[in-house]
Structure 1
């Protein structure tokens, strides 16, 4: 009887050991399973991308920027970008994107969600200057690396965040656009006895007109302002403003309208004859030249907020980008696409230089960095290394009715140091000084 109890006890012990071993094995498997995603995340960099995915700015701006992001992310992860970007990922880690619509009434809350809930490693985005004005202080408060890839107002680092630690802008601000526009008029012999402006009534439009009119005062002191129009952003209808421009009879009309507003002005203004009676300068016009085709009047002066799109210099990287973009999306990339690609390559250059995607390492490497993009050299030269400068170009629009193709002629290029303020000097002070220290060939 005792031996039977002993056998039963031995059987129970063996069963308990089996259960314990099974439980331990299952527990270890659970731990490993739980650890697997963390290990996968350690091999990736989560980036929040913010651009217009809906609304009037989506078609001409936000979607081309998102398309470029998708193209570049895939190419960077695969290591298929031409040298010197042929290595895979950011310092070897793949990019894991999250896309957010900039067309939101709660931009700050969307940003906070990316940082706090989605736990992104960095945020890259923003087209509208009003967005950047709201987000730049938020980025400094959150202590999160944030890269503004487009928005134009010089206020970001000259007035709003004057000692940036976490915020960068990888494209030149709009002072460059407007100084170069005034120089282009002089360099091409345009009649500039009087000039007028139609610009959106918010930071980008106000700053653009301020810098253009101040530049004109320096370049042609005899030129007079004929009219100033500041319609509400996204207004869409500009009948009264166009009537005021026609009445004032300027030689030149300057506009920093962008997106749907710019396209609406081109269509409405050309129908009323404003493009025939004045030389019209569109500082962001490149985004519409292929979209509008014959609707864009010949002779319009076109800018691209940098040497982007049809104004980009020849290079292996530019050839690759244009072909890859066209093959994938069936259309040529415009300047929002170029600026998105430029920002991502800047991040890659910084991470690869640092050999790390740690935030402090990337910030340290990006500060003051120079790199090559599809549009040429970019230098983080202003705002203590947080604000980019680069050269730019303007051209005059022509449409070939036989081929149905738009092109730019009479292109004039300007070096970065010719059209951007020097370090330590605010834009308007530099213009009013007579462009002190400018280096123009």
Structure 2
């Protein structure tokens, strides 16, 4: 039997993408199997037991409309590829069919909660998805209240980690981004300057840098810029005067292009290590003449990992007419986790599924992953990247280094 999917990738509209998590500008310039699993046949968890049984229903709640729709598309494409991979193409576990229903949250918390309550009322015990941190936190609350398993997707909020026993994550979190930024320099004793918008977004990134890199011995300062500023020359001068060892840029929105242009024109990018996050493919051309002068921390781009799982994922997504992107591995990994939980514990014993996931290590698209048992953080490799000229005046990412997961593991939650 094949996995049944409802309203999958073909239903997702491609829209302009938002900035990645803490760092990326908008495109127009305007977030090894372990021992007990390693004996499974083939590439995945499916053991070809012919026993059969009632289908296991999985609710995939993410944006198929709204500003995060393209992130939802990437997650869904990855999930389809991961389900195919983890079940050796059968869509079944021990002969039991996995039925996936995609529900559109539109990036709206109330809409997501309504969808979650509806499927839980129908007897679903597994949920996954969403790119919105606010939605993910709300779904985590629903998971705990109703005692169902929830594997969140690209949402990067650190508060998701350790929020409750029922919630796991299939992507990275913001603290892993910040720790990866620190891999570009010798952090102890370094002077790090955060350049960010003076709003909750920027202040949150400043706090993360202080909490992670400050704790490693860095001296952390900041240049916080009001959101309505459009002339950045004075702020670039402040950065130069501070003479930091590294500048961590946390920026999003319509002024991104002007901000990067100013840093470049004032020579900041020539004299100082400047690090920011490399987002989805739609943002690769957003840095203009600054493109090859910026150091990028990165969660994923298709050319970063070199392993058989990533190759299988890329081939599956491309064969389906899609393009692998920033959050494709998050969907793939979510499928791997769910298949593993079902294969070890069945699809209705939530406590047993939680136990099967806690401490599990497995080979995923980015390399070696481990689910930390204490708080369900997903320990995983991160990447250093640069942008290099591509065809037709485009810019494409190139891998600089892979940062081992244990080197950028977030502090334990709680």
TM-score normalised by L of structure 2: 0.72
Matches within 5 A, 1:305-344: 305=299, 308-310=300-302, 312-331=304-323, 333-344=324-335
Tell me the C-alpha RMSD between the 2 structures.
Answer: 3.5
Shift of 1:140: 0.6
Is the Cα contact below 8 Å between 1:286 and 1:303 reproduced in 2? no
Alpha carbons of 1:165 and 1:184: their partners in 2 closer, same or farther (altered >3 Å)?
same
In structure 1, how many angstroms separate the alpha carbons of the residues matched to 2:82 and 2:377?
A: 22
Cα distance per residue 1:354-403 (max 9 Å; x no partner): 3555433322211221221111121111534x332122221222223568
Partner of 2:291: 297
Cα distance per residue 1:180-199 (max 9 Å; x no partner): 20222449xxxx75523326
Partner of 1:120: 124
Q: Secondary structure at the match of 1:344?
A: helix
Relative CO higher for 1 or 2, CA cutoff 8 Å, sep ≥ 6? Answer: 2
Partner of 1:90: 93
Alpha carbons of 1:309 and 1:359: their partners in 2 closer, same or farther (altered >3 Å)?
same
Is the Cα contact below 8 Å between 1:107 and 1:131 reproduced in 2? no
Higher helix share: 1
TM-score normalised by L of structure 1: 0.68
Matches within 5 A, 1:102-113: 102-107=106-111, 109-113=113-117
Is the Cα contact below 8 Å between 1:195 and 1:254 reproduced in 2? yes
Q: Secondary structure at the match of 1:106?
A: helix
In structure 2, how many angstroms separate the alpha carbons of the residues matched to 1:352 and 1:310?
A: 28
In structure 2, how many angstroms separate the alpha carbons of the residues matched to 1:88 and 1:144?
A: 21
Is the Cα contact below 8 Å between 1:153 and 1:207 reproduced in 2? no
Is the Cα contact below 8 Å between 1:382 and 1:422 reproduced in 2? no
In structure 2, how many angstroms separate the alpha carbons of the residues matched to 1:345 and 1:328?
A: 19
In structure 2, how many angstroms separate the alpha carbons of the residues matched to 1:106 and 1:317?
A: 36
| Runs of 5+ unmatched residues, structure 2 | 1-51
Partner of 1:57: 68
Quick one: which of 100, 115, 136 aligns to 2:104?
Answer: 100
| Runs of 5+ unmatched residues, structure 1 | 1-40, 81-86, 232-237, 427-441
In structure 2, how many angstroms separate the alpha carbons of the residues matched to 1:281 and 1:357?
A: 45
1:397 and 2:387 matched: yes
Matches within 5 A, 1:147-296: 147-157=151-161, 161=163, 164-186=164-186, 193=191, 195-198=193-196, 201-202=199-200, 206-217=203-214, 221=218, 223=219, 225-229=221-225, 239-240=229-230, 242=232, 245-250=235-240, 252-256=246-250, 261=252, 264=254, 266-274=256-264, 277-278=268-269, 279-288=273-282, 290=284
In structure 1, how many angstroms separate the alpha carbons of the residues matched to 2:110 and 2:308?
A: 41
Quick one: which of 367, 372, 377 aligns to 1:381?
Answer: 372
Is the Cα contact below 8 Å between 2:147 and 2:350 reproduced in 1? no
Is the Cα contact below 8 Å between 1:294 and 1:399 reproduced in 2? no
Shift of 1:303: 2.6
Alpha carbons of 1:97 and 1:217: their partners in 2 closer, same or farther (altered >3 Å)?
same
Is the Cα contact below 8 Å between 1:149 and 1:170 reproduced in 2? yes
Is the Cα contact below 8 Å between 1:200 and 1:256 reproduced in 2? no
Is the Cα contact below 8 Å between 1:310 and 1:407 reproduced in 2? no
In structure 2, how many angstroms separate the alpha carbons of the residues matched to 1:205 and 1:293?
A: 19
Shift of 1:107: 4.2
In structure 2, how many angstroms separate the alpha carbons of the residues matched to 1:362 and 1:180?
A: 31
Partner of 1:135: 139
Shift of 1:344: 0.8
Partner of 2:41: none
If you compute each CA radius of gyration, which structure gives the higher value, 1 or 2?
1
After TM superposition, the structure 1 stretch with the greater mean CA deviation from structure 2, 107-116 or 117-126, is: 107-116
Quick one: which of 66, 70, 73 aligns to 2:76?
Answer: 66
Is the Cα contact below 8 Å between 2:194 and 2:247 reproduced in 1? yes
1:366 and 2:373 matched: no
Is the Cα contact below 8 Å between 2:298 and 2:385 reproduced in 1? no
In the alignment of these two chains, the number of paired residues is: 353
Shift of 1:55: 2.6
